[in-house]
Amino acid sequence: MLVIVFGASFLAYNLQAYSSDPLSAFGESTAINKDYLIAKTIRDLQLDVPPPIRYFSWLRGIVAGLWGDFDMGLSRSNIPVSEILAMAIPVTIKLVITATFLAIVFGISVGMITAIRQYSRFDYTMTFFSFLLFSLPIFWVAVLLKEFMAIQFNDFLADPRIPPVVVMLASLVFGFVLAGFAGGTRVQFFSVLAGAALFAGLVLTYVSATQWFLEPSLGIFGVSFLALCNAVIVIQLITGLDSKKGRNAGIGTAIAIAVLYYPLQLVMSADASVLNVIAVFSITITVGILIGIAVSKIDRRVYMRIGLFTALISTFPIIIDRFMAEFSDYLNSDAVNGRPVPTLGQANDLLTPEQLDNFWISGLDTALHLVLPTIALTLISFAGYVRFSRGSLLEVLNMDYIRTARAKGLNERTVIVRHGMRNAMLPLTTILVNDFAGLIGGAIITEGVFAWKGMGQVFNDAIRNYDLNLFMGVFIISASLTVLANFVADLLYGVVDPRIRIRK
């Protein structure tokens, strides 16, 4: 493994060294001290030493990391490379983490549903959709998003009324998607469609009539409704809705979330910090687990799990609701001036110090800056997860043990969730781990389009300034991440799949 990183870095070092010419900037220079500058550059960058030999002096700094004397060299602006990277890495992680998470969650669930409803209309639609997303260049999506999601949404906020035609169309689309998820006979399909479309229509009309976008909030009703929906899904996945104790645990937790809504507002005060958010999560999760314990005498773990997941996921609406409460102040502040969705940058520079100190406002600012890049990145990687999890689940569902499970009379939910999905997740672990490693490469373009100052920007500078040490810094980080990810994937695969143990 180390050999691979070593070899790859040697390759990259020489490629960069031979293909770049730091002296080319002086070609047309008319400076009086041109010769001196050239000589200085040669001395600083050791250009008189052949690259393969120069590589080892660079390597010595890296290897010295073993005894704590890590040195990646200086960039051409005389700042240690490790410092530049230390500033850039958190930015990139912030940029990609939400997108990856969303893409994984949505991609895998949609992929598995298309596999269960193979050859249905929903399957065909999603297949086409994922192929389309597969073929979209991310920079193009980014520019489109900037236009439609940011500029036009900001214009829309000046008069946030949704035209009836849009309400109808959006409700119909929502209805079709939900009905496609649900499947079933034609009558079921259309009743789900009608119900969902009606619901969406009512919500949108309400949103439009109350100018919700100017002062968004979920309120206790929104939070409880989402908690209930979420409880139903969690119960269905873990025990099935026909389990009485499962229902008690899940719905009990959802009710507890609703009851806790007002008390929790006290925890999330104006001078809150990340600690308060963690406190909120710990409170709800503890309550969820306790309810799980309370409803059962045996097999407590299962019901605790229901309580835990219901509480965990349902807490997000509460937090989001709290952020929303600050939205109208944020929107009308001088720094924002009624145009909340930014097209560039990672934070609003014009925010006042008081606003920056307020956890909720600065958090809202970060979140709004993340909206566009996150949507772009999610759309792009979503398609891959859909295709992969669909294929994976289909393969598993054709296995003999699935037929055995059906033959011994297990209900369809148990067959698909317990026997199918769990096994289909195995090959996904490899993909997931590798994707995390490939994120830095993937973020280069996104960072460029949205002007974030992360690894992508550093890399861009490194190439344009012929900055060999900086380039190698970015390279070594992404290469080691990839190698590490492969290693972790191998180990993980051995852990989750007992059939595969690492040989030797």
Q: Which residues bind other proteins (CB under 8 A)?
A: 3-5, 7-8, 11-12, 15-16, 19-20, 119, 128, 131-132, 134-140, 143, 146-147, 151, 438, 440-442, 444-445, 448, 459-460, 463-464, 471, 474-475, 478-479, 482-483
Task: Please report how close the Cβ of residue 172 comes to other proteins at its closest, in angstroms.
Answer: 24
Contacts of 112 (CB under 8 A, 6+ apart): 389, 390, 393, 421, 424
Among residues 116 and 308, whose Cβ is nearest to other proteins? 116
Among residues 13 and 309, whose Cβ is nearest to other proteins? 13
Q: Kindly report the number of other CB atoms within 10 A of residue 33's CB atom.
A: 10
Task: Please report how close the Cβ of residue 30 comes to other proteins at its closest, in angstroms.
Answer: 23
Task: Please report how close the Cβ of residue 16 comes to other proteins at its closest, in angstroms.
Answer: 6
Task: Please report how close the Cβ of residue 466 comes to other proteins at its closest, in angstroms.
Answer: 9
Among residues 87 and 132, whose Cβ is nearest to other proteins? 132
Length of the chain: 504
Nearest to 112 by CA among 427, 425, 433, 426: 425
Among residues 16 and 389, whose Cβ is nearest to other proteins? 16
Among residues 410 and 431, whose Cβ is nearest to other proteins? 431
Between CA 458 and CA 477 the distance in angstroms is 12
Return the structure tokens found at 49.
């030493």
Among residues 50 and 137, whose Cβ is nearest to other proteins? 137
Contacts of 72 (CB under 8 A, 6+ apart): 61, 62, 80, 81, 82, 85, 469, 472, 473, 476
Return the structure tokens found at 100.
């990856």
Task: Please report how close the Cβ of residue 328 comes to other proteins at its closest, in angstroms.
Answer: 27
Give the type of residue at 165.
V
Return the structure tokens found at 75.
């960039």
Question: Furthest-apart CA pair in the chain: how many Å?
Answer: 89
Task: Please report how close the Cβ of residue 302 comes to other proteins at its closest, in angstroms.
Answer: 36
Among residues 147 and 412, whose Cβ is nearest to other proteins? 147
Between CA 174 and CA 179 the distance in angstroms is 8
Task: Please report how close the Cβ of residue 185 comes to other proteins at its closest, in angstroms.
Answer: 15
Contacts of 470 (CB under 8 A, 6+ apart): 75, 76, 81, 84, 458, 461, 462
